[in-house]
Amino acid sequence: MQATAAESKPYADRKLWFSMWFLSAIVTFGLAFFPMFHRLLESRNRHFSHDAEVEETVTDYLKSKGKQPPSLSPLPPQRNAKAWAISIILIIPAFIITYILSRDLLLHERNQEAFLAAAFPRRIFMTQSIPIKTYVLITIFTLGVGGIYWLYKVVNLYNAHFKAQAQVEVEIARVMEEETDGGSM
């Protein structure tokens, strides 16, 4: 059970290279944005589902140790990647998706930090800051062009979160192993 958090991950959170997708979108007159948004939403959905499994593993571990597990955070709703990606043909949904991705990541990181802080005494995760209001204002004042920068930042924030999550899972497995080894002696 202790190795579950680090080893049972059937997929790896993959980086999304914004520059590659953006240049492809320029070359294809915007068509590359459809698979880019689809991939970003699919990665988000898979990651949040996997994180819920990690939280369940930690909860089971804490229960086996006789500790009170923290309450599980509500899972952000799954987004239909195909429908949302196709909807960007109307332009406005691209901004809505960017907002939703920003908000969901912010809430997910806050919930994850609270859960891990309650489960483990040492701080093993730190949330990123996402100034959503600033990005919205930039997008409005630049008549939508700022949305490209906002999307760039969202992609980078997800990439950073995926990298941090991998490190957190290794740390969780290490802490659980230490406590198991220390408790059995």
Q: Quote the pLDDT of residue 125.
A: 72
pTM: 0.83
Place of tokens 């970003």: 40
Rg of the chain (C-alpha set): 19
The residue with greater pLDDT, 85 or 2, is 85
Average pLDDT over residues 172-176: 84
Q: Report the half-sphere exposure of 97 (CA within 13 A, side-chain side).
A: 31
Q: Give the closest residue to 55 by CA, choosing from 179, 180, 168, 160.
A: 168
pLDDT at 100 over 50: yes
How do residues 1-57 score in pLDDT, each as one tens digit?
344 444 454 456 888 889 899 999 999 999 999 999 999 999 999 999 999 888 898
CA dihedral 64, 69, 73, 79 (to 10 degrees): -10
The residue with greater pLDDT, 60 or 185, is 60
Note whether 2 and 181 are within 8 A (CB). no
